[in-house]
Amino acid sequence: MKKSVIAATLAAALLFAGSASAQIKIGFHAPQSGPAAADGKSSTIGAEIARDWINEKGGVLGQKIELVIYDDQNKPDQAVPIANKLIGQDKAVAAVSGSYSAPTRAAAAVFQQVHIPYVSAYGVHPDITKEGNWAFRGVQLGPPQGKGAAKFIADKFGKVKVAMVTMNNDFGQSIAEGFKEEAPKLGLTIVKEYTFGLGERQFGPIVASVKADNPDVVYAIGYYFVGGPLVAQLRAGGLKQPIIGAQAFDSMKLMEIAKDAAEGVYIVGGMDRGRKTPADFQPYLAEFKKRAGYDAEAVSANCYSSVMLVADAIKRAGSTDPAKIREALAATKDFPMLTGPLHYFNSVGEIYSPLEVTQVKNGAFVGVTVVDDPSILAPPK
Amino acid sequence: MLFVELVVQGLVYGCMYAMMAVGLTLVYGLLRILHIAHAGVFALGAYMTVTVANATGSLALGFLVATVVSAIAGIAIYRLAYQPILHHAAFVPMVVSIGLFIVMQEAFRLIFGAYGIAFDKNPWYVAHVNLVGINLTYVEIAMVIMSVVLLVGFGLFAGLTRAGIGWRATVTDPHMATSFGVDPVRVRYVNFLFGSALAGIAGGLVGLLNNYVEPTMGGAVSYKALAIVVLGGLGSVRGTLIASLVLGVVEAFGAIYLANIFDRDAIGFLFLIVVLMVRPQGLLGRG
């Protein structure tokens, strides 16, 4: 009896596997264990929602989409064998990275070699697309984000004195670079730049020193889990100046951690949760909350949109030939990403997309303005 | 003014390190084990505090549960992980300890989720007093008071009570102490109980200070506390306390004046290397 059940299950599994091979396979990797597991979980859910919604509408080219998902533990040495597996074993026709810069850079080199199109959903390191013309980026590079922040601060507050508090990793440094380049041109004065490590949660010395500098605004570049404690400690230290945060502040955890101290914080590259466009934005927020049990942040939306973008490219290519998919991706015009319209990719696969600025009001991210100035935001080549 | 403020901030961090590092020193002094998993107990204390406080609304109950659970966890680690392998070379328990720490971190992630947890109510976190121009939050003040009270209490226990004297005798010469009727196994239990309870309370306080409890929060503390123990002269409680405060202050200045070259976590080790080059036995270690 037991044996027959096992045999039947096996047969069913084989049948299922047989039918699955007729699907279009898109590779996906994200850190699902280790220190970056939280973002990895969100990005995976985002990508899965895209897959499910595409398939509910009949898939692409009459075939269902299958996401082949791997855990890269946020390690480059895991990302390389994963890329090889996706290519050799799974026969993926395209791939999306739901991971940070380091593993994405490593995998991009592999996909470049065998000519499989690859989209980095939110990894901001410049080198990812430098691997060649098979890599694309679904998010603005660090430097344009920094320049956009300088533009916002100059427009909103005038020629003010800025104290920078920067995280000393790829993400923080590349944004800071753009900011420091643009700020003097717009008449901003950078009084001092402080740096800190990814593991930092206690900013007492930095707060004391910023207070002594007495800047007009504080520009903080870091993830929400450092942003939360930093914002709260700046306020506890008696600083009342406006705080402008970078894109990765965009998480409901920011408010959970910083509580009332988060009120009034601006985020350049944030996501206005009240926005009605594109049409799938509000349904996405609701669906994400249902599946994850917590509110969506930009990271998950980027992964959702990147999978949607790849599916759209396959549709436009009318083929699962990776070369044709790559061409279709490169020719993308005005694709509705959840984080803002993707106007075009430049010659090296960098996105041009406006930057949304949000502010925390009554515990929610509310849209303030949009920085959309090609002379500042155009991706570097 | 900034100078004074940085010293004060450094001392606050130093108090936090002291509560962590004393437990490590006690274990090293007694068993010659580098007890890395101590940082796991620290994170456990933070998780107990935040989950109980969020569930019941009582921070005091959170700390009580954290203290008790951490103490039990410490004893369990000794009894189940270390005691059976004490006769092996010193690196064996250390490897076990590292493994245990990794298992604990991943267990926190599986049980409590990959995202960290914030306190629902944490009124002390932004509320502050202004002492002659220096802002200190209530959590920072609580950290200093708690560490002073607990460590002075421990000092009195070790110096004045019969059990404390027995404990010190065991650290100095286990055989002699045993022949005077001190039960060395009981001393070890007391040791793990006290050190782990202290780490658990420190974890809860750091959770309040950051208003964020996360699976990897023991990571930075684990190797920093190790550096402090080495810095203080392995096994010297007094050396550990001094090293904790010194490291806190060095880090506070480093975070401002050296951070463009090293981050705060690296500064501690740079300092450790410099001190060990001059005094290989640590600040108060016996040569």
Q: What is the pLDDT of residues B226-260, one digit of tens each?
A: 889 888 888 788 899 999 999 999 999 988 888 77
Q: Does A258 touch chain B (CB under 8 A)?
A: yes
Task: Specify the pLDDT at position A150.
Answer: 97
Task: Show contacts of B152-161: CB within 8 Å, 24+ apart.
Answer: B154/B22, B154/B194, B158/B237
Contact B265 A238 (CB under 8 A): no
Residue B284 within a domain: no
pLDDT (tens digit per residue) in A49-84: 999 999 999 999 999 999 999 999 999 999 999 999
**Local confidence band at A38 (pLDDT 50, 70, 90 cut-offs):** confident
| HSE-CB of B205 using CA atoms within 13 angstroms | 26
Residue of chain B with shortest Cα separation from A201: B210
CATH code, domain carrying B71: 1.10.3470
Q: Does A158 touch chain B (CB under 8 A)?
A: no
Residue B131 within a domain: yes
Contact B115 A168 (CB under 8 A): no
Q: Does A296 touch chain B (CB under 8 A)?
A: no
Residue of chain A with shortest Cα separation from B216: A35
From the list A124, A110, A120, the residue with the least C-alpha distance to A77 is A110
Is a pLDDT exceeding 90 seen at residue A234? yes
Residue B287 within a domain: no
The H or E element spanning position B173 is: none
Residue B30 within a domain: yes
Residue B194 within a domain: yes
Read off the pLDDT of each residue in A296-320 and give the average, rounded to a whole number.
95
Contact B2 A259 (CB under 8 A): no
Using CB atoms within 10 Å of the CB of residue A52, give its burial: 0 to 12 exposed, 13 to 18 middle, 19+ buried: middle
Cα–chain center distance at B11: 15
Closest CB from B10, B118, B220 relative to A257: B118
Is a pLDDT exceeding 90 seen at residue A290? yes
Contact A204 B140 (CB under 8 A): yes
Residue B86's contacts (CB-CB under 8 Å, 6 or more residues apart) are B31, B93
Closest CB from A37, A205, A235 relative to B9: A205
Instruction: For residue B9, give its domain range.
Output: 2-278
> Hey, which residues 308-337 in chain A have their CB within 8 Å of chain B?
none
Task: Specify the pLDDT at position B273.
Answer: 87
Q: Which of A150-159, A304-313, A333-342, B67-76 has the lowest mean pLDDT?
A: A333-342
**Predicted ipTM of the assembly:** 0.90
Mean pLDDT rounded to a whole number for chain B: 90
Q: What are the two backbone dihedrals, phi and then psi, of residue B265, each rounded to the nearest 5 degrees?
A: -65, -30
Mean pLDDT rounded to a whole number for chain A: 91
**Local confidence band at A19 (pLDDT 50, 70, 90 cut-offs):** very low
> Hey, which residues 122-151 in chain A have their CB within 8 Å of chain B?
none
Task: Specify the pLDDT at position A7.
Answer: 55
**Total count of residues recorded for chain B:** 287
Q: What are the two backbone dihedrals, phi and then psi, of residue A196, each rounded to the nearest 5 degrees?
A: -150, 165
pLDDT (tens digit per residue) in B155-199: 898 889 988 888 888 888 888 888 888 888 889 999 999 999 999
Is a pLDDT exceeding 50 seen at residue A21? no
Is a pLDDT exceeding 50 seen at residue B154? yes
pLDDT (tens digit per residue) in B104-150: 998 998 999 878 899 998 888 888 888 888 889 999 999 999 999 99
Closest CB from B115, B122, B220 relative to A253: B115
Task: Specify the pLDDT at position A170.
Answer: 79
Contact B263 A195 (CB under 8 A): yes
Alpha helices in chain B (DSSP H): 2-31, 38-56, 59-76, 91-112, 138-160, 162-172, 174-179, 184-210, 218-231, 237-257, 264-278
In order of A87, A159, A198, A267, A298, the CA distances from A29 in angstroms are: 13, 43, 22, 27, 17
Report percent pLDDT > 70 for chain A.
Answer: 94
Contact A197 B263 (CB under 8 A): yes
Is a pLDDT exceeding 80 seen at residue A22? no
Task: Specify the pLDDT at position A5.
Answer: 53
pLDDT (tens digit per residue) in A112-138: 999 999 999 998 888 899 888 999 999
The residue of B3, B16, B115, B132 whose CB has the most chain A CBs within 10 angstroms, and thus the best one to mutate to test that interface, is: B115
Residue B283 within a domain: no
Using an 8 Å CB-CB cutoff, list chain B residues near A253: 115-116, 118
Using an 8 Å CB-CB cutoff, list chain B residues near A172: none
Residue A237's contacts (CB-CB under 8 Å, 6 or more residues apart) are A204, A207, A208, A210, A211, B128, B135
Task: Specify the pLDDT at position A17.
Answer: 45
Read off the pLDDT of each residue in A247-256 and give the average, rounded to a whole number.
90
**Local confidence band at A15 (pLDDT 50, 70, 90 cut-offs):** very low
Using an 8 Å CB-CB cutoff, list chain B residues near A238: 128, 130, 135
**Local confidence band at B32 (pLDDT 50, 70, 90 cut-offs):** confident
Residue B285 within a domain: no
Nearest CA distance, B236 vs chain A (angstrom): 27
Closest CB from B137, B252, B264 relative to A196: B264
Contact A209 B6 (CB under 8 A): yes
Is a pLDDT exceeding 90 seen at residue A29? yes
The H or E element spanning position B180 is: none
**Local confidence band at A110 (pLDDT 50, 70, 90 cut-offs):** very high
A79-118: string of b/e by CB count within 10 Å (b at 16+)?
Answer: bbebbeebbeebebbbbbbbbbbbbbbbbbbbbbeeebbb
Nearest CA distance, A173 vs chain B (angstrom): 11
Nearest CA distance, B182 vs chain A (angstrom): 43
Residue A5's contacts (CB-CB under 8 Å, 6 or more residues apart) are none
A260 near A281, Cβ under 8 Å? no
Residue B264 within a domain: yes
Task: Specify the pLDDT at position A14.
Answer: 47
- Tally A–B CB contacts below 8 A: 114
> Higher-confidence residue: A162 or B132?
A162
Count of the separate structural domains present in chain B: 1
